[in-house]
Structure 1
Amino acid sequence: MGGWEGAIRVPGIVRWPGVLSAGRVIHEPTSLMDVFPTVVELAGGQVPQDRVIDGRSLLPLLQGATEHSAHEFLFHYCGMYLHAARWHDKD
């Protein structure tokens, strides 16, 4: 990866007319692993309780119910090397 952060700063675009406000910009660290719990919540299900699920639902951020990501830390590894870390204080 040569120092690249492997998609940590890649923007995501979500569109849901009539449910999510248009033009909302969220400057919080999230991850592709958040897609699974988000889709599960949208479908009315629950993520498996018999294992650790690192992702967090994005719905509170997308709907404006919270201003901060549920992730306190996000790490990006390339092989066995840590390439990037993101942290924000819990509120």
Structure 2
Amino acid sequence: MSYDKKIEDSLKKDIVKNIHIRIQNISRILLSEGSNAISENEIRELMYIVAAKMIALAALREGKKSRILHIFSKNKKKISQLTKITINEINLLRKQ
């Protein structure tokens, strides 16, 4: 296995681990009695980050042939918060 492949595999494992941790944190917040301490917008933002990381991971696995970034970048007039976060996550992974 090449050095670059090992780095990429390690990055993918780190992303998956990060996603699992974020999901556990969201569940803990939602299931705790003190879940009202965090606003719905903050919870939504946490969920967007998880979704964006999952989409970015799919783009990373697809490699250069992935059309995900192109699809998300298409409609620039009306861009959702999820789309913004996803584009940022994909661009961040491409730089690593």
Normalised TM-score (structure 2): 0.28
More strand, by proportion: 1
More helix, by proportion: 2
Structure of higher CA gyration radius: 2
